[in-house]
Chain A
Amino acid sequence: MAKTKSKRQQQLEQAVMIPVDWLEERSGLVGGIKYFLFRKVPAETNWFHTLGSATLTAFLVQAVTGVILAMYYKPAPDEAYASIQHITNDLTLGWLVRGMHRWGASVFIILLFLHMGRVFLFGAYKYPRELNWLVGVILLTMALGEGLTGYLLPWDQTAYWATVVAININANAPIVGPYLGEFLRGGAEIGNDTLARFYSLHMLVIPGGLFALIGLHLYLVVRLGITAPPWTKAAGGYQEVGDGRALRKGLVDPKPRGNGAIAPRRPEA
């Protein structure tokens, strides 16, 4: 097949490859992307392993829709609610983008927790991936911070009073609480500055941190590789328990019981 390429085919191939090669020669980006995408993964991965990518997708949806909403939203106490009404009712497809952002926020948080549960139940937080677990916990906290700060932005009664309650709960942390509360409110009470402050946190501060830490998170995933599910051979394998059965390593009681000598936990030791 390859030998019998027509001239037209070769031309087409060149038309594609010349710019790609140009880019690769000068940046190494093509190799980098290949290195990122075509990694070795364990044979027995399953659908639970896609939760991290799903979370990332949800975050990107939030980022894109959020940037677009920011083109129409006005973070001032006397304009915010009206601008939200304007986005939802007047602007073409505004209802859709606002809806994506509003419901996507919940999807993002839910996927985060599912992803976290998958990592926990598969034991994927263990050596050498502890640091990635810690980064993930910070990411979760920041995502919840996005939820807190974003909830105030519609500036309706629910938003206002929910934020009053949420900030006061924060302010009840011992010793540092009152200062944290006062920083979040920008004063002793929710006021003019609170909305703009939350908008800045929601739009700039926390997303910046999220992007940076997601980069670190992915770097560690690429560097350390993906864990196989715990029941697979790659993760720990099975061991003979003496009576012809094989159980998963680590689930077997290592101590001999009765007169039946069960295989030790680590036969190689």
Chain B
Amino acid sequence: MADDLERPAEPAHEDSEQHLPAPSILPFAFAGGIALILIGLIINWWLAVAGGVLALLFGFAWIRDVTRDVRAAPEPEPVVAEEPVSELAAEEEEGPEEPERYPRSVFLELSTLGIGAAIGALVTVPALGFMIAPAFVGQGDDDVDLGPLDNFPEQQYVIAQFNSKKDEPQDVGRRAAFIRNNGQQNGVPSFTIISNRCAHVGCPTQPQGLPGDACHGGAYDAEGNRVAGPPVRALDRYEFMIRNGNLVLGTRYSVGKVTGQGADAKIYAYKRYDPGQHVDGLEQYLWPVPPYEGGS
């Protein structure tokens, strides 16, 4: 113990500093070259060649950098007690004069945390993306062919059942719509096609005379306007087109209200919203952006 205390601190300190290589960015560049080789092996061998060149270049520079002290072989520095300093003075100087250093342990701590976080993100981000993204992409309904127009007599509601998505089993994809042929208007066929899903929380409505919701007592008139109960808007409607003489359902859209009747009806149409969400009035700002595609 006594020897430890008596040993002058300053020269030993200087000595250890000599062997530390200077901070360098080159190892990172070298590692980047190696990574490029590995990526290149999978993707394109030109990339691997470029990575190899980079790795060689930076590896060489790195080795040069690290061995500079050895190669230069500096003459022993004359710091070792040029003028004999008393032990007391040396100890006094050490405290205030030692420059603030970035300890190696902190660097290792931070780099371990940082690399761990990077690896964690590399694994989690794609997995989370797979968990979330498919629910929001490619969600439009398939077009549904409901057969020739003769199936729909004029001024009469017909209940049509169909699969909204072709790849889903009957029990899951089955939807129903109330379809009324309004006859020709200006030489163009006119249809009223109302979804049977209640605009309250999405129960099926039953056409007992007029659409009515069995779950919570919502009731609608022949144009799908709400007449009673908790629904916040009119029933949704489907776009339609005539293709080869057949009636084809397009996307579903939400309706605030309908004025007028049949072919003369004025439909206040909005993008498709979930049941229970207001599309007009002040409350619409509670749901500013519908996530669904389609509608107008």
Q: Which residues of A contact B (CB under 8 A)?
A: 77-78, 161, 164-165, 168-169, 171-172, 174-175, 177-179, 181-183, 185-193
Q: A161-B215, A177-B274 are contacts. A185–B135 as well, Cβ < 8 Å?
A: yes
Q: Contact between B287 and A175 (Cβ–Cβ < 8 Å)?
A: yes
Contacts of A169 in B (CB 8 A): 201, 276
Could you name 21 residue pairs across A and B whose Cβ atoms are closer than 8 Å?
A77-B171, A78-B171, A165-B202, A168-B274, A168-B276, A169-B201, A172-B276, A177-B277, A178-B274, A178-B287, A181-B274, A183-B132, A183-B136, A185-B135, A186-B135, A187-B135, A189-B164, A191-B168, A191-B172, A192-B172, A193-B134
Q: Which residue of chain A has its CB nearest to the CB of B204?
A: A161
Given A161-B203, A187-B135, 15 more A-B residue pairs with CB atoms under 8 Å apart are A78-B171, A164-B203, A165-B215, A168-B274, A172-B276, A172-B277, A175-B288, A178-B274, A178-B290, A182-B139, A182-B291, A183-B135, A188-B141, A193-B134, A193-B135
A92–B42 alpha-carbon span in the complex (Å): 53
Our pick among A78, A171, A186, A190 for the contact of B134 (Cβ within 8 Å) is A186
Q: Contact between B291 and A178 (Cβ–Cβ < 8 Å)?
A: yes
Q: Contact between A182 and B135 (Cβ–Cβ < 8 Å)?
A: yes
B-side binding surface: helix, strand, loop or mixed? loop
A174–B168 alpha-carbon span in the complex (Å): 30
Instruction: Assign chain B's interface to a size class.
Output: 20 to 34
Q: Contact between B276 and A171 (Cβ–Cβ < 8 Å)?
A: yes
Q: Which residues of B contact A (CB under 8 A)?
A: 132, 134-136, 139, 141, 164-165, 167-169, 171-173, 201-204, 215, 272-277, 286-292
A185–B202 alpha-carbon span in the complex (Å): 13
Our pick among B139, B274, B289 for the contact of A187 (Cβ within 8 Å) is B139
A164–B216 alpha-carbon span in the complex (Å): 13
Q: Contact between B173 and A191 (Cβ–Cβ < 8 Å)?
A: yes
Least distance between B142 CB and chain A CB atoms (Å): 12
Q: Which residue of chain B has its CB nearest to the CB of A166?
A: B201
Least distance between A123 CB and chain B CB atoms (Å): 38
A8–B268 alpha-carbon span in the complex (Å): 93
Contacts of B292 in A (CB 8 A): 178, 182, 188
Contacts of A188 in B (CB 8 A): 139, 141, 272, 292
A159–B265 alpha-carbon span in the complex (Å): 37
Q: Contact between B277 and A171 (Cβ–Cβ < 8 Å)?
A: yes
Q: Which 5 A-B pairs have the closest CB atoms?
A: A174-B286, A171-B274, A188-B139, A168-B201, A165-B201
Q: Which residue of chain A has its CB nearest to the CB of B294?
A: A188
Contacts of B274 in A (CB 8 A): 168, 171-172, 177-178, 181
Least distance between B115 CB and chain A CB atoms (Å): 25
Contacts of B201 in A (CB 8 A): 164-165, 168-169
Contacts of A78 in B (CB 8 A): 169, 171
Q: Which residue of chain B has its CB nearest to the CB of A189?
A: B164
A177–B278 alpha-carbon span in the complex (Å): 13
A5–B289 alpha-carbon span in the complex (Å): 81
Q: Which residue of chain A has its CB nearest to the CB of B131?
A: A183
Contacts of B215 in A (CB 8 A): 161, 165
Q: Which residue of chain B has its CB nearest to the CB of A164?
A: B202
Contacts of B141 in A (CB 8 A): 188
Q: Which of B272, B274, B289 has the most CB of A within 10 A?
A: B274
Q: Which residue of chain A has its CB nearest to the CB of B293?
A: A188
A178–B287 alpha-carbon span in the complex (Å): 8
Least distance between A210 CB and chain B CB atoms (Å): 19
Q: Which of A185, A187, A190 has the most CB of B within 10 A?
A: A187
Our pick among B165, B204, B286 for the contact of A191 (Cβ within 8 Å) is B165
A169–B165 alpha-carbon span in the complex (Å): 24
Contacts of A164 in B (CB 8 A): 201-203
A182–B293 alpha-carbon span in the complex (Å): 12
A169–B216 alpha-carbon span in the complex (Å): 13
Least distance between A188 CB and chain B CB atoms (Å): 4
Contacts of B290 in A (CB 8 A): 178
Q: Contact between A77 and B169 (Cβ–Cβ < 8 Å)?
A: yes
Contacts of A161 in B (CB 8 A): 203-204, 215
Q: Contact between B202 and A168 (Cβ–Cβ < 8 Å)?
A: yes
Least distance between A134 CB and chain B CB atoms (Å): 25
Contacts of A171 in B (CB 8 A): 274, 276-277
Our pick among B171, B203, B287 for the contact of A177 (Cβ within 8 Å) is B287
Q: Which residue of chain B has its CB nearest to the CB of A174?
A: B286
Q: Which of A164, A181, A188, A193 has the most CB of B within 10 A?
A: A188
A172–B287 alpha-carbon span in the complex (Å): 8
A78–B277 alpha-carbon span in the complex (Å): 31
Contacts of A165 in B (CB 8 A): 201-203, 215
Q: A171-B277, A172-B276 are contacts. A190–B287 as well, Cβ < 8 Å?
A: no
